[in-house]
Amino acid sequence: MEKGKMVIERKPAAWLTALILLAIFTCAGCAKVDEQAPYIAHEFMLDTDIIINIEDSRAPQISTAVFQRIAQIEKKMTLFSQDSEIAVLNAQAGQKAVEVSADTHYVLTKAIAMSKITRGAFDPTIGPLVKLWDVGSGLARVPGDAEIQKALALVDYRSLQINPDSDQLHTVFLPRLGQVVDLGGIAKGYSGDEAKRILLEHGVRQGIINLGGNVMAFGHKKDGNPWRVGIQNPLAPRGTYLGIVYVSDKAVVTSGGYERYFIKNGRRYHHIIDPTTGYPANNGLISVTVVADRGIEADALSTGVYVLGLTEGKQLIDSMDGVEAIFITNERKVYTTAGLKDCFQLTDGDFSYE
Ligand code: AMP
Ligand code: MG
């Protein structure tokens, strides 16, 4: 994912900051001295710090079950191993269809649906460009225009062939040699949904799962109030918030160019690639937070809307039922969709509403 010879913002030790801030933002009940502190577990998975915050007498065992499920998903979808289902799909591009699990089939099907909704701004076949830029590996460089055009020609979500779910066999085919699927923009959201499902199966009715800023706030706080989720200030160190969103039973997912990037000749190049240009998206936004019922949708939408920019992105979110968003522009202007009017509080005076 991200590399950079010059400047890299990485996430190590972020778990500690996240842990502390999560405690501040999600545990207003802590003011009551007799209240049990919620159980907090963390693991590094999906290339990020994952934190589970629940209250249950069996919390350690339940958290282990959640981490095992996330590990399963990672094993199927990662690009960091040659044996994952996605790696095998990519290796067989232009040659033959491959069989994948129901998990991978579902995420790919959903990814294509989200590509259609975002008119290709979110595109899981973005892989050749992600590989070319290689933001996050320590070897990132600015590719030449010819290389970008060559990679760009392989990116097209409409070319990915997925057999319908009704068929017994889940097969998928990338028709052109060199095509690469990358689920980095959606897999964490799916993992958040699955984490919530497992917690509910174990009888846990409320909690927070934070997958590197991809937050699943499920149920509400024990005192009946909504969870308070801090929204990262994209211009300040990790863990500095510009506002708070109050939500119950929602996924809150942020995408931004500040998350992974490198700087070359004074220019910043980040990890979210615009499938129409082949370059890091540059449509006036520095971050987008999407609030939706399901993590998988919030995750794909936040990546896609970041690419679309404010005008098109806001139009899209406005047109969707049950989905809200917060947009932060290069000029530090903040826009929210109507449904967040009373649920978002801007706390940083450096930013202002338009
Ligand atoms: P996120 O942090 O959810 O916005 O996802 C960013 C990650 O998604 C990147 O690190 C890439 O792996 C992948 N990605 C980059 N650009 C796109 C895009 N336009 N559509 C889909 N996935 C993308
Ligand atoms: Mg995403």
Rounded to the nearest 10 degrees, how much is the dihedral formed by the CA atoms of 271, 260, 325, 211?
Answer: 110
Strand pairing class (261-264; 267-270): antiparallel
Q: What angle do CA 255, 258, 262 make, to 5 degrees?
A: 125
| Cα→Cα distances 92→78, 95, 183, 240, 304, Å | 16, 5, 17, 43, 27
Cα of 130 vs centre of ligand 1, distance in Å, is: 8
- Using pLDDT thresholds of 50, 70 and 90, give the confidence band for residue 139: confident
The ligand whose atoms approach the alpha carbon of 124 most closely is: 1
Specify the range with the lowest mean pLDDT, choosing from 3-7, 27-31, 262-266: 3-7
Cα–Cα dist 234/232, whole Å: 6
Q: Residue 22 above 90 pLDDT?
A: no
* Residue of 126, 132, 238, 261 best suited for mutating to test ligand 1, as the one with most atoms within 8 Å of CB: 126
Which residues have any ligand 1 atom within 6 Å of their CB? Answer: 1, 122-124, 126, 130, 182, 184-185, 255, 259, 271-273, 275, 299, 302-303, 307
Tens digit of each residue's pLDDT (9 = 90 or more) over 341-351: 999 999 999 99
* Residue of 3, 84, 115, 303 best suited for mutating to test ligand 1, as the one with most atoms within 8 Å of CB: 303
DSSP 30-90: GGSTTSPPPEEEEEEETTEEEEEEE--TTHHHHHHHHHHHHHHHHHHH-SSSTTSHHHHHH
Q: 217: which strand partners?
A: 208, 250
Cα of 185 vs centre of ligand 1, distance in Å, is: 4
Please list all protein residues whose beta carbon sits less than 5 angstroms from ligand 2, which is an ion: 185, 299, 302-303
Instruction: Write the residue with the smallest CA distance to atom 3 of ligand 1.
Output: 185
Instruction: Write the residue with the smallest CA distance to atom 12 of ligand 1.
Output: 184
* Contact (CB, 8 A) for 273 and 281: yes
Instruction: Write the residue with the smallest CA distance to atom 5 of ligand 1.
Output: 185
Mean pLDDT over 108-126 rounds to 98
Instruction: Write the residue with the smallest CA distance to atom 11 of ligand 1.
Output: 184
Q: Residue 27 above 70 pLDDT?
A: no
Specify the range with the lowest mean pLDDT, choosing from 29-43, 125-139, 149-163, 182-196: 29-43
Closest approach atom of ligand 1 to CA 260: 10
Burial class from Cβ neighbours inside 10 Å (0-12, 13-18, 19+) for residue 203 reads exposed
| Cα→Cα distances 196→69, 116, 228, Å | 11, 26, 18
The confidence score (pLDDT) of residue 331 equals 97
Closest approach atom of ligand 1 to CA 124: 21
Q: Residue 94 above 80 pLDDT?
A: yes
Cα–Cα dist 138/131, whole Å: 12
Place of tokens 């600015």: 142
Q: Residue 255 above 90 pLDDT?
A: yes
Angle between helices 102-117 and 295-308 (to 10 degrees): 40
Instruction: Write the residue with the smallest CA distance to atom 18 of ligand 1.
Output: 122
* Contact (CB, 8 A) for 209 and 215: yes
Cα–Cα dist 49/13, whole Å: 9
Cα–Cα dist 23/17, whole Å: 10
Cα of 299 vs centre of ligand 1, distance in Å, is: 9
> For the chain, what is the total number of helices (H) and then of strands (E)?
9, 19
The confidence score (pLDDT) of residue 13 equals 40
Mean pLDDT over 11-30 rounds to 40
**What is the edge-to-edge ordering of all strands in the sheet holding 333-336?**
39-45, 48-54, 207-211, 214-218, 250-256, 285-292, 324-329, 333-336, 352-353
Specify the range with the lowest mean pLDDT, choosing from 8-17, 58-67, 101-110, 124-133: 8-17
Mean pLDDT over 165-170 rounds to 78
Closest approach atom of ligand 1 to CA 259: 2
